[in-house]
Structure formats: structure tokens, C-alpha cells
Structure 1
Amino acid sequence: MTPSKYYPFPIKALKHNMPLVIYETGIIAEQYIDQLEALGMRDRIQYCADTFPSKRKQFRGIPVLDQQQIAQLSNKQEMIYVVASYWASFSIADTLRACGIDDIHIVMPMAMEIEGQTVHFPLHKRAIRHIVIYPFIETIEEHDDMEARLNWFLPNRQNLHVYIPQDLPGDEVWQSEMDACDVLLVWRQSSLNDALLRPYRAKIGCVDPSYMETPELPLYARLYYRTLEFEERAALLKQSMFNFERLQALVGKGQPAYVFGSGPSLETVLNMQLIPGVKIICNAIVQSEKVLDRLDPDVLVAIDAHFFSHTIFGQQYRETIKQFLDHSSRYCIVPEMYAALLFAQYPELRYQIIGMPITSTIYHFPVLDSFWVKSLANVITTLAIPIASSLADTILIAGCDGSSNLEEPWDHSKIAQWDDTVNAAHEAHTSYRLIINSRESYHEQHNRNIEELIALGEQCGKTYHSITPSFIPALARRFKRLET
């Protein structure tokens, strides 16, 4: 019986008659192994692999190697490496190249299926140089909207081949463009079933704002990063690590790291006597002059893709970032793929932007020789707590209030609220907003992530306190009131 979410094994990996390495050890790898077993070919699998080593040495009875072990294999060029990931497929291909694996030995996944329907996500292996927009754009409004998106999300557009058709499909130009392109951006969901597109499923990224399976905003926001060559991406990462090292030098010996969330209790912190330490704020807090004047924060962390959109909301938020970074000793930390856009659009801020790789499959506090964090659903757990835990041994948390009712959204401080321009972002990126707002058991998962992150830190000898009351169990148990 085919599962509701089906990941077909890329059969072309078998044509070389070479041993296989299944890269990643999750549900996709599970299905790949099941499919190979059904074909009587499980014995072709030599290893599984994970970029981020854990205590697990086997997966489904197959030895698991980490990145360093792959690099040290004497026969590494005598195997085929099958990427068992979608969102991380591009990064995994980079990792394998860094291990010395030639492109001919790297096989990307095929288009996935959900409930029998193909889910469209571009699965290119090399940097994007050629983009086709599909279908034909009929109205001035649609054309202007597409131009606004492309001009922001592709600051290097003049160096790319971007084909926006001026007529209906069917001629030789369309065919040659789709044959040659790296990515097909389909902006109208109803066109996904067009017969003309069937041979190109692995190239398609659906950027219709109503398409729920792969929301268009993260696809757009990652697009520029994916046009960069390996050496260019490596240079941006090197700059981010250099900036992170400068940030580390700001933290005095024995000083704490503060994490400020946007819950209602944030306002009470403004009256507290805080001992010197590195201060990390999140998301909308940067808009509050009152908070900036009173707390004088050192670091802004942000992960919401809306901040990197072409909308008036995104533009205003980035202006706020620029104002925050007017102080040369301040830093802004965002996901690596989004940071590429900021580096390109605001080169004057290149020494204050830190692009953090959000690629780990395990909880991790970033340091220079393992510079990454785990992808989670909230900025506090993805960036703020891991970075604070990397910078200091005592972590003081405020404004992370949670909610007494796990079925209801939590409240935000009045000094950390969005203005009405956020509605423009929601309208422009409908699927992204709906997916964020529809996450089931969000509070329970968030509470669990904080519990597990703090447990990891305490195992490493770190101390955590919440200096404001919280409904999050791990923080409620560690509440420590400061003097006001």
C-alpha cells in the first residue's frame, strides 16, 4: 500500500551498478530502504549517512557515517550517494562536494507525492543560472507583481537568464527554454497539471501564494542563495563565522546572556536592574525605541520569512534592522539562506550580519568548528537559546510567557506588536501565513523543545533562569525574580 506521503526512490541511482549511500536518516530514507527491499536490492546499500553525528551508529541495520567519515573513505568515489531530503537537498549536495565527491556520484530525490498528487519542489543540484516563469502572464497587475518579486529576491538578476514568456505556450522557444532551465517557477497552481510540464516535474517550484504543499515565500527567499556558486556560498559562510567570532569577543568573562521574548512580561524587564551581559532580542522587539533605549541589546535574531519579502512590511522591517545596526557593535542573526539576500542588498552591513546554517538534525549550540543549529518552529528555540548558550554559561530568559491555554495563541507585549503593514505580507504570501497559523500542537512542541534545549545546556554545565513568570514548564521551574 502506498503511504499518503510517498517519496519515490530515484531509480537512476541504480544504473551504475555501484554500492549506495543513503544520505539522511529520516522518513524519506525509510521509504527508500523499503522500496529497495521490495526490489530485492537492499544489499546494494553500503552505508547511510548524516551530516550531524549522533549516538546512533546504525539505521535499519545499516552502518551510519558522518561527514568526516565519508571524507576519509578510500573508496568514496566508487559509490552513489542518494540524497534523502528535500529542503536540505541543495546543502547536502554541497556537503558531499566538500567531502570530495564528484557530481556524477550524487543523485537528487524525485518529486514527492502526497495523496497520489505530485508535490512540486525544485531539485536542482548545481547553482541556478536559468529560470523560466510559467504560465504566460496575461495582465499588467500579474506582470508587475512578478517583477516586484523577482527584482527583490534576485539582486543578481542581470547575471541570470530569466525567461518571462510573452505569448502562449507551445512554440519551439518554450520547449527550448524549459529543456535548458534549472528551475521552473509556476505561479498559478491550476497550471501544475499541464501536459507541457510533465517531463519537468523535478524542476518545478510552485510559487502560487495559495499553494499549501510548499509555501512560495520560503522558495522565493531561498532563491538568490541557490543561484550562488559553491565558492560564493562558502565565502558568505566564512564572513558569518568571522562576524560570530567578533560577537563572541564582546562577552565578558562570567557575564550572562539574556534572551528577551515578546511576551507581555517583557515590559516588566524595563524596570529591572540587569547585570552586564550580552542581550539578545527577537523579531518585533527591535521596533520598540523604548526597549532599545532601556535594554541596549547587542543581538537581533529573526527567522520569519516575511521579514525577507518584497512587501512594504518586509521593506519596513529591514529598515528597522538597518537602524538597529547603526551601532557598529550590534549584530543581526538570521538563517543562512536569508542572510545571502541581506549581504547582497546591504553590503555596508556585511560585518554585522550573521547567516546561521539551520541544517542540524540534532539540538546544537553553534561554535566555529560546528557552525549550525537545528531547525525548529520558533525563533527562541531555533536561534535565541542556542546562541545564548554558545555565548555564555548563565542564560537569563525574559518575556517567554507561553500560554495557560495550549489551544489559544499566546499574547504579545504591547511594545512588541506589528503595525497594519503586516496584513500586506499576509495577503502576498497566503500559504505561508496559513501554514504557520495551522500548526497542530504548536505549544506542546515548543514547550518540549525548550525543555530539551535547556536539558542539553545543563548537561554541558550551563545554568538557566527565567527572570519573568512563564507558563512554559521548563521556565516556570527555573523562575528567579530579579530586583527592580
Structure 2
Amino acid sequence: MVNSKRIFARVNTMKREFRHMAYRGLQELRGGTNISHIDSVLFYPTIKFERQKEDLLNRLAWYIPENPREGDFTVFIPLNHESMIKSELRTSPQACYNYQHFNLEFISTENIHSVADQVDLILNWDSKYQFSPKILKSLSKTMIVDPQYFSAVEIDRWLQLSNYAEIDEENNSISSFRKLENDYRDCDTAFVFARGPSLKHAYDYELGDDSISIICNGIVRDRELLDHIDPDILTAADPILFSPSKYGHKFRQDAADAMESYEMATIIPPKYHALVNNHFSGLDFITIPSIESEKPIFPTSDNLKVRATANIMTLFMLPIASSIADEVYIIGADGMDDPKSGSFDHYEATRYNPELVKSATECHPSYYRDNKFSSYYEDHLDTMRDIIEYGEQQGIEYYSLTDSNIPCLAERVKRDIH
């Protein structure tokens, strides 16, 4: 019975992937995506329920904030009933964002075709209509933002929207990373803190002033631990952390507070820069692009990039530590007790409460439904070994100060520093 359910789920995932690939192929046949700047969007298809309108406007308000924009931004909303127009914004899985800076134009279903020709971008919020004749000729300026669609497509398209709206400011990542290099040029030791249950043993060690500490994700919510670590760099890449969900909102609040309190730099992928730079101006965000590469890349200000991987440890944490220090100590990288479960266990103090986590799954269901995290774990183990062995060839020493299910760390367990 269990195997039948898994097979059925896999078949449905393959169907969704096939539809997405067919859609992308049709877009390419029609000239690909041709969007450079947007001042107007059309939601499609017709919105029938108040909750649909609220949900879409709230998401849009997160990805296109008010303050950085100049001029009008017009949102065309086809409605079934005019009675929906005057309602207040109420959301459940999302935090609330102000959309008063949008110029809202409510239109009838009959006017969709003519408006579709005029707007800069069409946001298809119901993928059942992805091949609709009404917008078929406008595929080059259409993005699917249906949270039930496929994998991370919905989140990625919203992020693209924030860049198309040209709300970004100058990116000073290279100069900021060069400053980081200069600040820690005499640093010999790096501490890398993951979120496994063994992170509790961080209190067993006193970190020297001549070291650099790198943390990730939900560690920002544990202020007692942060006081002990006094972190220098925060890393984050999971798209859920940059989503309008209540979970993402709470993480960003905690991260912003920690960045100010501990004067941390935060390393993120470039696709989030426009978004966070305009919501959190004045904080130090450094974007590092990731590229496909056969071997690991340790970023420098002269070559600010990393190898693309699926885990924050291998994407940013270890490569950055390896670019700065000769000795790298890892705490809390426990790995999976049961790889078939597809989930990492986390140190209790770094976990967000279940209701917040639930808000993320409700806000972006396809991301969780179609991404089987257990399938990448073997690749993660191989990538960890690749990075460590590559670094050791360059004279860098790696140690795990806590027990780990990750073989390359289990082979390098050490209980003391130096």
C-alpha cells in the first residue's frame, strides 16, 4: 500500500514536470521570456473569491515593496463580483504586507484579452489555464505563480518579479567581501555551526578572538547561543526564508535583529538581493553567485562565486570558511539519522514553532510536495567529501568537534581545538 502511494505520487510529479517542460518549450517557440521592466501586471484567470484576491495582492506586496518604487504600479484584477472590491486584506499562512502603493484596476472577464495586450506582465495564478487561448499569444510575458503548480517554480517566478520591477539598488558585494577578507586576513581558524542536535556542544568551546564564526538559517533565533558564538557571518539560501509566509517573516525579523546586534555580514544568492535590499536597507548583504563546476570553488573578492550545490553547508559555509582560514572546525553537522526520512533533525533552540513551519507548507505547497529531500542526501555526502578533500590538498585542516552521521566528518572528529 505504501509503495503504491509512493508510485502514484511519483507519477503525478512526473506529469506536473512534463506539463511544465511542455509549457516552457512552447514559450521558447514563441520567442522565450521577453521581460525587462514592469510597471503593470494582470492577474489571470478571473478571481472568484475574496480569499484569492487577498492572497495574490499580499504576495505581490511582499515582492514589490512600497518605499523603493517611483511612479505608479498598476495591478489589473479581473473579478467575478464587484462586492469583493472593498474588503480588507486578511491572510492566514502569510504575514501581512501593505499593498496601498499599488494602483488597483478591477476589470471584467470580457476585458481580459485587451488588457493582456497592454500590460507588461501576466501573472497566471491558476495553472489549469496555462494553455488558455486568451493569453496564449502573450506567453513571452506570462509567469505562472500558482502555488500548486510544480516544485519551486512559483517561488522563483515571484523572485524574478522583484527584479523585473527594478527595485534593486547598487550591489556592493565584491567590495563588501573584500572588506571581509581584510578584516579576517590574520584569522587562522574558522568555526562553522550547523543546526543538528549536537549544536548544543558549542557551549563546550571558547572561541578565540582571532577566529571567524559562520552560522546559518534558524540559528538566528537562539540569542543565548549567539551571545556565546558572537557570529561574524550568517548564510541563508532556502527560498522559503525569503517568502511572504509567516515562517519566512519571522526568520527575517530574527536575522535582521541578529545582524544589527552582532554586526554580521549575511551571504545570500543574488536572486534575493533586490528583495532584501529594499526591505532591509542599511544591513550588509553580500551576494555570491553559484555556477556549475566539476570541482569546489572557494570564493574570493577577485573570483566571487561558488559551486552550485543543494545544501547551505556546501553552498556557502564550508567554501567561505575555506577561503579565509587554515583550520576549519565544524559543530552541529549531524547529518541524517535515517536518510529514508528525508529530513535533518535540528537543535531544539533553533527550531521555529510548528505553526510557523506549517505556514510555509501552506503558502508554498508545491515546493514541499515535489522536492524529495531524501533523494539529494547521497549527493550531499559526496559533495561534503569533495570540498574537504579539495581543501586538504591546499593545506586546510578540517575537524568535526561533534559526532556526525556524515562519513567524511565522522572520520575527522576531534574533541579539542588546536
Same fold (TM over 0.5): yes
How far the C-alpha of 1:249 sits from its partner, in A, is: 2.5
Determine the C-alpha separation between the residues in 2 that align with 1:283 and 1:428.
19
Determine the C-alpha separation between the residues in 2 that align with 1:284 and 1:296.
15
**Preserved CA contact (<8 Å) 2:197 2:346:** yes
Secondary structure in 2 matching 1:265 = helix
1:201 counterpart letter in structure 2: L
How far the C-alpha of 1:478 sits from its partner, in A, is: 1.7
Tell me the number of residue pairs that the alignment of Structure 1 and Structure 2 aligns. Answer: 363
Distance 1:254 1:297, change over 3 A: closer
2:77 counterpart letter in structure 1: I
Partner of 2:285: 353
How far the C-alpha of 1:129 sits from its partner, in A, is: 4.3
Of the three residues 410, 429, 449, the one matched with 2:364 is 429
Trace 1:219-368 onto structure 2 (pairs within 5 A). Answer: 219-228=157-166, 235-236=170-171, 239-276=172-209, 277-327=211-261, 329-349=263-283, 352-362=284-294, 363-368=296-301
Q: Deviations over 1:205-247 (max 9, x none)?
A: 2111111155312221332123339xx66x21xx122222222
Q: Deviations over 1:371-429 (max 9, x none)?
A: 12233211111111111112222211111111243212231111211112121121011
Distance 1:125 1:116, change over 3 A: closer
Please give the TM-score of this superposition, normalised by the length of structure 2: 0.79
**Preserved CA contact (<8 Å) 2:35 2:120:** no
Secondary structure in 2 matching 1:150 = helix
Distance 1:417 1:116, change over 3 A: closer
How far the C-alpha of 1:361 sits from its partner, in A, is: 4.0
How far the C-alpha of 1:333 sits from its partner, in A, is: 1.3
1:430 counterpart letter in structure 2: P
How far the C-alpha of 1:164 sits from its partner, in A, is: 2.8
1:217 counterpart letter in structure 2: I
Distance 1:401 1:214, change over 3 A: closer
Secondary structure in 1 matching 2:138 = helix
Q: Deviations over 1:273-299 (max 9, x none)?
A: 333411011111110012111111111
**Higher share of residues assigned helix:** 2
**Preserved CA contact (<8 Å) 2:39 2:73:** yes
How far the C-alpha of 1:439 sits from its partner, in A, is: 3.4
Determine the C-alpha separation between the residues in 2 that align with 1:373 and 1:398.
22
Q: Deviations over 1:77-99 (max 9, x none)?
A: xxxxxxxxxxxxxxxxxxxxxxx
Secondary structure in 2 matching 1:184 = strand
**Preserved CA contact (<8 Å) 1:208 1:216:** yes
Secondary structure in 2 matching 1:285 = helix
Tell me if 1:142 matches 2:74.
no
Tell me if 1:167 matches 2:99.
no
Tell me if 1:481 matches 2:415.
yes
Q: Deviations over 1:330-367 (max 9, x none)?
A: 11111111122111111121xx2112223444532211
Determine the C-alpha separation between the residues in 1 that align with 2:229 and 2:275.
28
**Preserved CA contact (<8 Å) 1:221 1:305:** no
Determine the C-alpha separation between the residues in 2 that align with 1:453 and 1:414.
28
Determine the C-alpha separation between the residues in 2 that align with 1:160 and 1:386.
40
Of the three residues 46, 49, 63, the one matched with 1:153 is 63
How far the C-alpha of 1:170 sits from its partner, in A, is: 4.0
Trace 1:324-473 onto structure 2 (pairs within 5 A). Answer: 324-327=258-261, 329-349=263-283, 352-362=284-294, 363-408=296-341, 409-419=343-353, 420-436=355-371, 438-473=372-407
Secondary structure in 1 matching 2:330 = strand
Distance 1:257 1:159, change over 3 A: farther
1:441 counterpart letter in structure 2: S
Determine the C-alpha separation between the residues in 1 that align with 2:164 and 2:324.
30
Q: Deviations over 1:259-285 (max 9, x none)?
A: 100001110121223334110111111
> Where does structure 1 lack aligned partners over 5 or more consecutive residues?
1-111
Distance 1:373 1:170, change over 3 A: farther
Partner of 2:41: 131
Cα RMSD over matched residues?
A: 2.6
Q: Deviations over 1:38-73 (max 9, x none)?
A: xxxxxxxxxxxxxxxxxxxxxxxxxxxxxxxxxxxx
How far the C-alpha of 1:329 sits from its partner, in A, is: 3.1
Determine the C-alpha separation between the residues in 2 that align with 1:214 and 1:283.
19
Distance 1:255 1:131, change over 3 A: same
2:299 counterpart letter in structure 1: P
Partner of 1:216: 154
**Preserved CA contact (<8 Å) 2:232 2:262:** no
How far the C-alpha of 1:124 sits from its partner, in A, is: 2.9
How far the C-alpha of 1:468 sits from its partner, in A, is: 1.1
Distance 1:113 1:435, change over 3 A: closer
Partner of 2:94: none
Partner of 1:118: 23
1:144 counterpart letter in structure 2: E
Q: Deviations over 1:120-175 (max 9, x none)?
A: 8872353444432211222221111111111110125655444333334443xx33
Q: Which has the higher contact order (CA 8 A, sep 6+)?
A: 2
Please give the TM-score of this superposition, normalised by the length of structure 1: 0.69
Distance 1:190 1:115, change over 3 A: closer
2:251 counterpart letter in structure 1: Y
Partner of 2:14: none
Determine the C-alpha separation between the residues in 1 that align with 2:141 and 2:58.
22
**Preserved CA contact (<8 Å) 1:360 1:372:** no
Identity %: 30
